[in-house]
Structure 1
Amino acid sequence: MFSVAQLSDPEIKLLNATFFGNDGFLYGYASKTIGPVVSKYLVQINPENGETETIGIGPEANYLDGCSCLTEVYCGMELLQDTVTCFDEEVRIKVFITNRSSTPVTNITFKDTIKQNLKITNIQFVFYNDPFSVHLTPDSVIWYSHINLAPGDSVIFIITLDLSNAVPGTTYQHMGWLENLPGFPQTLGSDNIHTPAVFSDPVTFFYTTPEEAELQYALDFNLISCPDAPTATTSVSLAAPFIEPGKDYIVSYSFQGSGTTEQLVLSANQDSTLEWLITGNGEIQITQIQMAGDTTCALPLDGNFLAEATPPDTTSISLCRNGEHLTIDSTYLPSDATEMQWFASWTSDWQPFSPPLEIATDYIPANSLIGIKYIVDDSCEIEEWIRLEIHDVPLLKLGDTQTFKGGTSVSIQPVIQYDVESLNWTIFDGEEEHTCPGCETLTFTPSQNGVILAEARNAAGCTTMDTLFYNVEFDNSIYVPNCFSPNYDGFNDLFFPFFGCSIDHVETFEIYDRWGELVFRAQNYDPRQVQAAWDGTFRGKAMDPGVFVWYLRYSSTDDTILERTGSVTLLK
């Protein structure tokens, strides 16, 4: 050993301790007096000749700070969660050891004492160069030995501790340390032993209940779009740091003022959230969450939200009591509707049905309600209401089959009961269709057998119809005067036959004098449109008074050929 007097630096008055560094040089902590000031130095000493070289001054020369030696190794610990509660099954602590010196360190040891009621379950190595040995002593001290670190290298690992037996309300302090560091002094003075170790800063956590921890949580909700739903279906998502994927939790909630609390057992999603649906109207409070199977660990929540849906408007449908049906089909139901039920105001229960549902109107009260309820999207219950306004139809009677005289004007007056807004007529006679819209009375001249259709409509749009079949009788008779006086006095100046209404064609009309000479002829005409008459002349001259003979050949509307003859007297 060297005495202070042997050192080359005369200002060194006290050498506190010496040690060999792993570089082979001798180092010492010295006090140097320069004038009236005494300063502390770290010096390098040549063991052969006592020459000294100042390495550091001030705090660097104080071996008690753990950083004054040439070998500087840092040991740190970090708690990997903000709070530790009874919801947590384990706690994780990150340990990192770094060689901050310019020389390698070898064969150092990390030690960590596991506190009572805690148990190590896993060590996860995050970053290291060489494997090292891990030992757990009977007194719960972890040894990580044979750690070798090059300059700037680090070892990082995570210790997982089981909290199954942890006591709520207990503060746990965790601290590790390094041993076998090169260059650390072994003695301090004559009676103080300096442990050759570097201690980490302590990691402290308070194992507590959620009430004391005041854990943060996030509550999201949104009303699911249920068109026309009378109650709100709300999707709720709860996220909190303690929720673990796949684990079961019990969530309690209630509707304000209901006086009852509902509980759901939910399995956490992979994103550490709990999701569920709530159906109902009003303010909902999420009151508590606890782990399934553990009634001692519960987190009181104060998550309120309003779930309220506007009841659907009632659809009004006007129907007529004439055999019409209300059909519940795809017009009212979406394609993915399931669990369909219907309710009527004249019944007492909801009844299941499969579309189409036919509801007859014949015996339904004038004002009725029909309810339809079904499920869409596997969760959204929709309820719709239909108000039925049932209207009586007008009563319309045209009577039994009638027979009309052909060519004669006929008027039809129907028998009507209840108010009628419009009355429309249609006549079908086999050849043509004749209409008379808006006519209160139908007036027409029948020419052949046919049918009359009348339609009555009231203000509600309800219609009723009736038909009248009719037959037509035709008169095939004719009347031929027996005298006429063509003196141009305006009376009986012409001679012509009068035909019945059923005669529609005259093939020939001829007149002869008493010697058999033809004095007048008319052929092929419709007597209903053309009047063929003799004026008493022949070849432009007036005939003398006398008796003349006439001949007729004609046909009726039923194609019957008829012939008639007779005489007529010409007077002056």
Structure 2
Amino acid sequence: MKQLLLSTLVTLFFVGHLNAQLGEFRVECTTGDSVRALAATAGPDGSIYVLSSVANGFNNPAGNANDAIVTRIDNTNQMVWSREYDPGTFQSITDISSTEDGGFMLSGTSTTVYFDGFLAKGNADGTLQWSQFPGNPDLLERGFAGLQTSDGGYIFAGHHSPSFETALYLVKYDASGAVEWGQYYPVAGQGATGYDVAEVPAGGYLVTGSIGGIAVGDKAFVLRLNEQGSQLWANTYQYQDFVGQGVSVVALEDGTFALLQTTFVDDQFTGARGALISRINLDGSVIWSRLVVLSNQAVTVEYNGLNFVLYSQPEDLVFTPDGSLLFVGASDVDNSGDIRPALAKISKDGEMLWGLELAEEGFLSGPFRFGGSPLTVTSEGYYAYVYEDLYDRDGFRLVKVDEQGQGICADPLPDAFLTPVNLDVAPISFVGSTLTASTDLDVNVSDQDFSINPNNSSFTLDLGNDTLICSGASLLLDPVLDSTAVYQWQDGSTDSTFTVNASGIYSVTVTQDECTAVDSISVVTPEDAVALGPDLEVCDGESVTLGPVFEVPGDYTWSNGATTPQIMVTEDGTYTLELTTTCGVVTDEINVNILELPDVGAEVVPPNCGENNGAITINLSGGDPASAIEWFDSEGNLIAEGVQTIENLSDGSYEAIITVGADCFSTSTFFLAAPDVPQAEVNVSPPNCQGQASGILTLDVTGGITPYQFEWSRNGQPFNESTATINGLLPGLYAYTVTDATGCAISQDSIALPDVPPINFQVETVDPACPGEATGLIEFSGLSGSTSPYTFALNGSTEQTEPVFEGLASGLYEVTITNSNNCDTTVSLTLAEPNALSVDLLAQPNPASFGDSVQLEIISSAPIDPALSTFQWVADSGAVLSCTTCHDPRLLATSSVDIELTLTLDGGCTYSAELFLQVDGTRQVYIPNAFSPNEDGINDRFEIYPGAGLAEVLNFQVYNRWGGLVFEAKDGVSAWDGTTRGETAAAGVYAYIVQVRWVDGFTTLYEGDVQLFR
């Protein structure tokens, strides 16, 4: 179908032909083996690698139960080659992924003695570069997914079972197949299996799978790893506490990723099942999540004489080149008891773009496969998917559609296919342990053979090429389809054909079985094919292309000699076109008028004084008359039209659009730049000293237009100054007015020029403490109200910066304080002379006898506070004072003595006084010369009677006339009672010896006799 060339009209045609690469195809194994479809991945040049497996059972004669088969299918859906791979006794190769060299990787499980992980690198021709058992060959391990990494290496994911508890494990290989690192990732108390792994563009990996076991995991998880396999974070994602498993994880280019997981939709294991599709940030937080209810109940089927329960399950999720997500899963969305693949394209915002339900009604999809990726995007941008019919044992189906989901006949999915939901996200911890083992193994490779045939053909709808019909003729449009087709033409008619006899675009929509196609055709008569349309007005300096709307086969001749369907003109005139076709000759003409725009002059008056008083006037000269004048402000708002002058404008840009004719216009832009309104800042300098005419006012004026004029006033009276600065000012209230060259004036009243405050201070004076001393002080503090620093001068002496004068005698002083502005103040101060104190001493008694205790007293002209004064008493050597620093000591008189007192008051003043004490030095003691011990109470004892100053009797003995000792004072007995040895002594004369010690330390011996009377 050929599209007509248009000059001023573009018509789009949807062609109903389907691409031969697209559609559904049955891939049949021609060797007699039963096969299961597992996975698919894109190959080079639009080809596809399809992974399937032999499903003959263990007892088949060929002994190839579960061998992997890779079939390469080119972009025309022809088989390039097919290879069978046998790595061991039993194998479950579940996944295939493409490599950058055009080859592929196989991932899964193989068996020697134990279950072992399996990883193999294949070439584009199906040969293998290498194959290995990733992990420890002595442990039970299973693999599910692998892919090539951006560094050319490979990463493999699965689980191992060192005991009865599974643990996730990953192995990273370099490009040659050598192990770079390996890690086990157990979860304490729970099993963990990894079903899919993805590389993050920013670095590191994402792994998804299930926590809780391989058959029915409890929760889906995502584990984020760095490039060395260390955990960055791990979360579980669950919907309303239902059981779920992670199926597929896809890293997106924008730093997010998508997660596909299974979920139950109720608490019954045989009940509703669904899929959860989520877009998640790289920190693990969920952006959005959508629930897909795949079926409301399980389907029970009979297979090989046994009953089986089939479940709907999500299968795969991939990222498309246009930034969308592609989902596929086995479903029973209409609850009809079948299980059919559901293919849906979803935007990155979680909205369904389109959805298809594949296969025919009643179809039962083959059992769910763990780890496989049956969905891929080819290098040509088509979407390919492999699936199988439960009852079709020797083949499987391949579906290829374009990015709009077209290429096959399929039922659409319901609009409510996706339901927004919220997921519960919880952190989980995997404990990594090192795994380094990997073992080479041999794989037997043999050829297999498949045939590929269309399985779901669509039909071709073709109304033919765009065409010319002669006036009065007609054209029959006939799609030529079978009787099952249903038609709807552009006018709503439903006949299988449509008769055309006039120019126009005709279309039909045809539905046949489950397929719908649309086609259209343009039909034109010679008169319409030569029609040039209405006369044109063209702007001066521009060109215009003349020609008919439709181009048809024929000869074109213009009045200017041109023979092309279209010509370009730049001049006035009438142009005629003659068209010769099989229908004859037809002509048409068109007038072209060149319009000239006038010249635009302008008078611009900018606004001033901050007011909207600007104006613009345009003057038009020459050219054609203006058909319209429109004015626009800077925001594109229409503010006036039909006038040449606009007023009351603020500053800014304005556009005037002058239109001539219908489409010729010129745009003139004007910018009104209003000068800034004058602004003034007043700088105030108060007088230097209080009451002094030395103040200054200065105006700093900006904005407006110079020169400026200044007017001043003081205290409401005009002030004869006209400059920006006025000085020699007394304190007061001033005002100014500034007028710029445009007459814009600003003013300010009540500018206070303050008086300088006086120098404020506190002063402390201390009088001399003692009469005649120079210990007075004057000290200033708390200076304020003026500018520092300050100086101080005493009685006109040299100035000093310290505010203290010390060592002053009593008298009148004047202190002058001067500030930094040389302003001063003087203060007069008086220091008083303290009153003198007279001090004398008094001794009682005076004169005194030997041994007297003489009381010393201070006689003063003013009271003395003993607590605040100090005393120092000094007497001649040998004199005994009761204390030397107390207020009123006592003196023991032994001899005449000079006494001196030094008195210091609390202010530090010292006074002294002297006294001579006259002492009679006679030592007095009385010893009786007779006694009568007759117990009459009178003179019954002979004892020593001491005078003043006697300290102690050292010895007191009495002897009889024969010299015998009759009494000795001892043991506390100091008087003789006239007995001797307990017997009454005879009357008579007795001799005595008495020795005494005086208070001054001298001793005296007394001897004599005493008469004892009876």
TM-score, normalised relative to structure 2 = 0.27
